């Protein structure tokens, strides 16, 4: 008997570990599917997703005003945050143009392609620093020893936070995201709330220090910049609530998805020894491999919108107030756009048409930095390490429990040393 969408549940461990058959079934049978476990309409096809993103007047990012996105765990964490720290306000992620545009301008300069090009040597140095720490051992737990610390180090440097606090940044970032992922209980949600408030108080101290003594970092820029008030039209400084929300998004966006993408990229190579050998022999193909890995193992499965009025997506009527899940991971395998989309092809033409970084006004502001971190990673890793292999050939590639993020729990590898000396090719992905 043929499978149908009702045969799956994204919160079941087996489905969560490999959700792609579920998404394919939705695309084939019910492209806009009301997913009971998420209480949202799941948009599974590429063009439908692009339609939603092009019409913020119908499908708003402000899901707390127009929809009902919450849940027990998230509410517990948010309540603790509001009572002991700074409550959440909407800046980048949960706003629509023109409000979103005002906030977006504040961070655009930090992550431009031109600026990321200038960071190439610095990123390559950071990559080599991390490899130096484990290359002599012939093995490593790749997620904790490389995929997590690389983007954490870089975002710490950009924010002006000491590198000694990288472990704290990761813990805080996880706590900011976990309550919305559907796999924490009430007690864990409360702990997440406490960690978020701990992060807020740390950043509050940094903010006050930068008010008195600015430095060359993003926090200094945000503290001293002025934006046009959406109500009065006057130029003003950001208040503490806005600063906290922006730092929340910069921290989580600056490390979680890049960590997941780097880990998934290496996993794909370990699953495909011929592709790994091909990239070893032809590093000029790494750029295409990165785009295909982002398409095939999209680090964010979906993000949310809410219907501001009765609307229609494809053949589905969407009632006002409904939550909508934009299925990036599904759209990136849509066979109409990506021929044989369920097959990984490192030489795929136009793999860069994927939506892993979103599209339109909410296109990920850190996408250029993420691409460079991945590009430098695989260029240097494949130059310095040889015969990369799984420490356990039966590794199940288990993922961190989440209904919207996709990242490995761990990835234990072994390798031979190809080049002990540092490798600094000075290669930009752009």
Beta bridge partners of 312: 317
Where in 308-417 does DSSP place strands (E)? 311-313, 316-318, 323-327, 385-390, 412-417
pLDDT of residue 1: 58
Query: What does the alpha-carbon distance between residue 198 and residue 177 come to, in Å, rounded to a whole number?
Result: 15
Contact 49, 327 (CB under 8 A): yes
Helix (H, G, I), strand (E, B) or coil at 111: helix
Residue count of the chain: 430
pLDDT of residue 272: 97
Query: What does the alpha-carbon distance between residue 300 and residue 283 come to, in Å, rounded to a whole number?
Result: 27
pLDDT of residue 70: 61
Strands 139-141 and 311-313 turn out to be unpaired
Contact 78, 193 (CB under 8 A): yes
Query: What does the alpha-carbon distance between residue 96 and residue 94 come to, in Å, rounded to a whole number?
Result: 7
The H or E element that residue 228 is part of is: strand 226-228
Model confidence, pTM: 0.95
Alpha helical stretches, state H, 119-239: 120-134, 142, 149-159, 166-177, 186-212, 218-224
Query: What one-character DSSP code corresponds to residue 335?
Result: T
pLDDT of residue 18: 96
pLDDT of residue 129: 98
pLDDT of residue 349: 93
Query: What does the alpha-carbon distance between residue 69 and residue 324 come to, in Å, rounded to a whole number?
Result: 10
Cα dist from 55 to 19, 65, 285, 313, 359, whole Å: 27, 17, 36, 11, 12
Closest CA to 304 of 95, 61, 50, 52: 61
Contact 219, 159 (CB under 8 A): yes
Per-residue pLDDT tens digits of the chain, which is 430 residues long: 578 999 999 999 999 999 999 999 999 999 999 999 999 999 999 999 999 999 999 999 999 888 776 668 888 999 999 999 999 998 988 899 888 888 998 888 888 999 999 999 999 999 999 999 999 999 999 999 999 999 999 999 999 999 999 999 999 999 999 998 889 999 999 999 999 999 999 999 999 999 999 999 999 999 999 988 877 888 999 999 999 999 999 999 888 999 999 999 999 999 999 999 999 999 999 999 999 999 999 999 999 999 999 999 999 999 999 999 999 999 999 999 999 999 999 999 999 999 999 888 888 989 999 999 999 999 999 999 999 999 999 999 999 999 999 999 999 999 999 999 999 999 999 9
pLDDT of residue 64: 83
Considering the domain delimited by 61-300+356-417, tell me its CATH architecture.
Orthogonal Bundle (1.10)
Q: How would you classify residue 182: left for phi > 0, otherwise alpha for psi between -120 and 50, otherwise beta?
A: left
Buried b (16+ CB within 10 A) or exposed e, 111-137: beeeebeebbeebbebbbebbeebbee
Domain ranges of the chain: 61-300+356-417
């Amino acid at each position: 008997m043929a499978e149908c969408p009702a045969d799956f549940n994204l919160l079941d461990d087996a489905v969560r570990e490999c959700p792609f058959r579920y998404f394919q079934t939705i695309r084939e049978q019910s492209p806009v599917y009301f997913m009971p476990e998420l209480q949202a309409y799941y948009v599974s096809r590429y063009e439908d997703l692009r339609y939603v993103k092009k019409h913020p007047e119908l499908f708003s990012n402000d899901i707390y005003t127009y929809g009902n996105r919450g849940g027990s765990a998230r509410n517990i964490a948010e309540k603790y945050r509001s009572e002991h720290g700074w409550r959440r306000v909407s800046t980048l992620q949960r706003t629509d143009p023109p409000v979103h545009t005002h906030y977006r301008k504040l961070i655009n300069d930090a992550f431009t392609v031109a600026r990321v090009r200038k960071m190439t040597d610095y990123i390559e140095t950071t990559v080599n620093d991390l490899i130096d720490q484990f290359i002599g051992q012939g093995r490593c737990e790749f997620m904790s020893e490389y995929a997590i610390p690389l983007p954490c180090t870089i975002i710490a440097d950009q924010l002006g936070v000491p590198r000694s606090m990288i472990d704290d940044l990761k813990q805080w970032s996880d706590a900011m995201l976990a309550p919305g992922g559907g796999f924490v209980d009430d007690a864990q949600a409360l702990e997440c709330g406490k960690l978020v408030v701990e992060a807020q108080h740390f950043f509050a101290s940094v903010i006050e220090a930068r008010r008195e003594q600015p430095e060359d970092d993003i926090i200094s820029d945000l503290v001293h910049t002025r934006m046009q008030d959406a109500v009065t039209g006057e130029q003003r400084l950001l208040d503490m609530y806005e600063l906290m929300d922006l730092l929340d998004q910069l921290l989580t966006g600056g490390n979680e998805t890049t960590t997941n993408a780097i880990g998934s990229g290496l996993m794909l190579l370990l699953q495909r020894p011929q592709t790994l050998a091909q990239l070893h022999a032809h590093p000029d193909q790494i750029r295409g491999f990165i785009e295909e890995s982002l398409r095939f193992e999209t680090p964010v499965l979906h993000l949310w919108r809410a219907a501001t009025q009765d609307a229609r997506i494809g053949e589905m009527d969407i009632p006002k107030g409904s939550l909508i899940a934009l299925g990036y991971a599904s759209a990136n395998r849509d066979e109409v756009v990506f021929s044989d989309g369920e097959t990984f092809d490192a030489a795929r033409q136009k793999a860069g048409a994927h939506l892993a970084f979103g599209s339109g006004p909410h296109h990920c502001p850190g996408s250029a930095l993420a691409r460079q971190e991945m590009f430098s990673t695989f260029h240097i890793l494949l130059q310095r390490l040889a015969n990369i292999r799984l420490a356990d050939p039966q590794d199940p590639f288990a993922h961190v429990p989440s209904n919207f993020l996709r990242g490995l729990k761990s990835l234990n590898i072994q390798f031979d040393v190809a080049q002990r000396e540092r490798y600094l090719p000075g290669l930009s992905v752009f």
